[in-house]
Amino acid sequence: MVRMLHRIGWIGLTVVGALMVFAVASDLTADRRTGLPSDHAGTFTRLAGEPFAALHSASPGVARYTTTLEVGYALHELTFAALFLAIVLIPLRRRESWAWFACWAVMIANVGYAATFGRHDPAILGRSLGAAIAVPVLLLLCAPAVIGRAGSPAPAQAVS
């Protein structure tokens, strides 16, 4: 049962990590095409008081700066998504306890994204809460297989 829970958690975390990488790739594509990811448009409009297209027309320099910030932000997201995925794919799969603890760090980004972008746009909030809820649940599924392993003595050998 412990092995099955670990496998379900590990597969789920792998999917979440892959979705994080896919989301960054989508954002970078949108940044290149329009200057702002479409899922950030609602938040931008709420905070700036005008759509990004209006800013782009009225102040192209500020729009370029905003796009540069978006690209930089996406590259930071990509870095952490790739690290998360690498930790999930290799050491967490091997049930290394340090990897389980390291995976919790992604929650800073998940909760932070929900609190910054998500609180201004219900569509983003729903998607960001998906990761913020899924990661702890999936990590908890992995816990019995990972936590008990660290420092536990090897099973006694039968003496003949």
The answer to whether residue 115 is domain-embedded is: yes
| Total number of domains constituting the chain | 1
15: closest CA among 131, 112, 101? 131
The answer to whether residue 156 is domain-embedded is: no
Tell me the pLDDT tens digit for each residue of 5-53: 999 999 999 999 999 999 999 999 999 999 999 889 999 999 999 999 9
Tell me how many degrees the CA angle 138-119-22 measures, rounded to the nearest 5.
50
The one-letter amino acid code at 3 reads: R
Domain encompassing residue 120: 2-148
The answer to whether residue 140 is domain-embedded is: yes
The answer to whether residue 155 is domain-embedded is: no
Beta carbons within 8 Å of 159's beta carbon, 6+ residues apart:
none
24: closest CA among 65, 67, 63, 81? 81
Residue 56 CA to residue 144 CA, distance in Å, equals 52
**Lowest pLDDT segment from 82-96, 101-115, 141-155:** 141-155
What pTM was computed for the model?
Answer: 0.85
The answer to whether residue 159 is domain-embedded is: no
The one-letter amino acid code at 100 reads: W
The answer to whether residue 96 is domain-embedded is: yes
Beta carbons within 8 Å of 156's beta carbon, 6+ residues apart:
none
The answer to whether residue 31 is domain-embedded is: yes
The answer to whether residue 160 is domain-embedded is: no
